[in-house]
Amino acid sequence: MYSLGNKFKKALVTGGAGFIGSHIVEDLLGDGLEVISIDNYSAGKKENLAHLINWGQKFKEIKADVRDYKNLRPYLEGVDIVFHQAVSKNTICFKDPASDLEINALGTLNVLTAAREAGVKKFVHASTGSVYGDTRYYPSDEEHPLNPNSFYGVSKLAAEKYVRAFHHLYGMNVNILRYYHVFGPRQDYSDVGGVVSIFGRRAFQNLPLTIYGDGTQLRSFTFVKDVVNANKFLALTDDVSGEAFNCASGVKVTIKELADAILKYFGKETLPIEFQDWKPGDIKYFNVSHQKIADLGFKFQTSFEEGLANTLEWIIGYLESMKKYA
């Protein structure tokens, strides 16, 4: 839909072996770009990129840490565009907020500095709806106050501020996408992964689905291909810089509706759904405006049903293949 092939030759994706990063890498290679993935494999997996081996010289998979500026810097040479996805797992932010800050804020500063020194033309930064904190009005747009209430949100907001400073101080073309509830193939399905993948895995394994709270909490599930397209859209849009855009599909699905849809997909409606206490800090309601990016001409294309079927097909294929080799 959006092709970067005529505009850029070489891209670098941080967090390239992660869930969203690996989809960006794959898509850019399809556009004919030379692509470098940078990842320290703390959460990313080699297998997320294994299918790209046939791209040969076009694709370089580098093990490097965004906290290590000296090591990082040479990889930016000759790069036209950066998609910065690397992030600490938000589950570590309680246990180790200092490393959260180092990866998300210092890591972003390092990638920005290296990109600027190397003369990179564009920088698209992955942020999160967590930078807003408790929502004060709906639908919440980008003018909403930024009062994150988690260490993860604070460190991601610091990262955003560095990104914007590079626009103001150096005139670098940088933009920010605030993702919400992204789902799709290759998302972590372990117990600390994404809810769609966790429910999909548990239904496949005939295990009960667990809902924290009463299941009425609303999510704006956004299919990963739409997130990739939003990144590419901003890469192709020249007359904006230093801006943040909500990247939420607008879909509104409750967790109970999600559980029901997954059980129906598997034909396992009799599998139990277990309700447990609310998780502390769980946000019950999302109504996020994506009008700002829509006004530029971007459209979220994938229906929730289509994205869900695509994700569950992948989970089934993946878990079947694991059984074969077990």
Ligand X SMILES: NC(=O)c1ccc[n+]([C@@H]2O[C@H](COP(=O)([O-])OP(=O)(O)OC[C@H]3O[C@@H](n4cnc5c(N)ncnc54)[C@H](O)[C@@H]3O)[C@@H](O)[C@H]2O)c1
Smallest gap from residue 43 Cβ to ligand X (A): 4
Catalytic residue among 75, 152, 162, 179: 152
Strand blocks (E) in the chain: 10-14, 34-39, 59-63, 81-84, 122-128, 173-179, 182-183, 209-212, 218-219, 222-223, 243-247, 253-254, 273-276
Which of residues 180 and 204 has its CB atom nearest to ligand X in the complex? 180
Of 107, 133, 148, 200, which lies in the binding site for ligand X, with binding defined by CB under 6 A?
107
Of 126, 228, 235, 288, which lies in the binding site for ligand X, with binding defined by CB under 6 A?
126
CB-based burial of residue 195 (10 Å sphere; 0-12 exposed, 13-18 middle, 19+ buried)?
Answer: buried
Phi and psi, residue 226, nearest 5°? -70, -35
Residue matched to tokens 């933009």: 175
Cα dihedral 158→163→169→175 (10° resolution): -140
Of 144, 181, 232, 290, which lies in the binding site for ligand X, with binding defined by CB under 6 A?
181
Instruction: Region of 133 please: left (phi>0), alpha (psi -120 to 50) or beta.
Output: left
Window contacting ligand X (CB under 6 A); options: 167-175, 176-184, 198-206, 231-239: 176-184
Window contacting ligand X (CB under 6 A); options: 83-91, 112-120, 133-141, 302-310: 83-91
Examine residue 184 and tell whether it contacts ligand X (CB under 6 A): no
Examine residue 66 and tell whether it contacts ligand X (CB under 6 A): yes
Window contacting ligand X (CB under 6 A); options: 179-187, 274-282, 291-299, 310-318: 179-187
Window contacting ligand X (CB under 6 A); options: 14-22, 138-146, 213-221, 271-279: 14-22
Q: How far is CA 315 from CA 44, 195, 215, 224, 326, in A?
A: 17, 13, 23, 15, 16
SS3 31: coil
SS3 112: helix
Of 10, 13, 21, 153, which lies in the binding site for ligand X, with binding defined by CB under 6 A?
21
Smallest gap from residue 123 Cβ to ligand X (A): 13
Examine residue 17 and tell whether it contacts ligand X (CB under 6 A): yes
Examine residue 87 and tell whether it contacts ligand X (CB under 6 A): yes
Of 44, 133, 148, 185, which lies in the binding site for ligand X, with binding defined by CB under 6 A?
44
Examine residue 88 and tell whether it contacts ligand X (CB under 6 A): yes
> Strand 218-219 to strand 253-254: parallel, antiparallel, or no bridges (unpaired)?
antiparallel
Examine residue 85 and tell whether it contacts ligand X (CB under 6 A): yes
Q: What is the DSSP letter of 288?
A: B
Examine residue 28 and tell whether it contacts ligand X (CB under 6 A): no
Examine residue 49 and tell whether it contacts ligand X (CB under 6 A): no
For the question of residue 152 being annotated catalytic, the response is: yes
Q: Which amino acid is at 276?
A: Q
Smallest gap from residue 264 Cβ to ligand X (A): 23
* Nearest one of 278, 230, 248 to 180, comparing CA atoms: 248
Examine residue 175 and tell whether it contacts ligand X (CB under 6 A): no
Judge contact between 72 and 226, C-beta under 8 A: no
Strand partners, 223: 183
Q: How far is CA 21 from CA 43, 75, 151, 231, 291, in A?
A: 12, 17, 22, 11, 25
Examine residue 217 and tell whether it contacts ligand X (CB under 6 A): no
Which of residues 187 and 241 has its CB atom nearest to ligand X in the complex? 187
Q: Which residues are identified as catalytic?
A: 152
Residue ranges binding ligand X (CB under 6 A): 14-15, 17-21, 38-44, 65-67, 85-89, 103, 107, 126, 128, 156, 179, 181-182
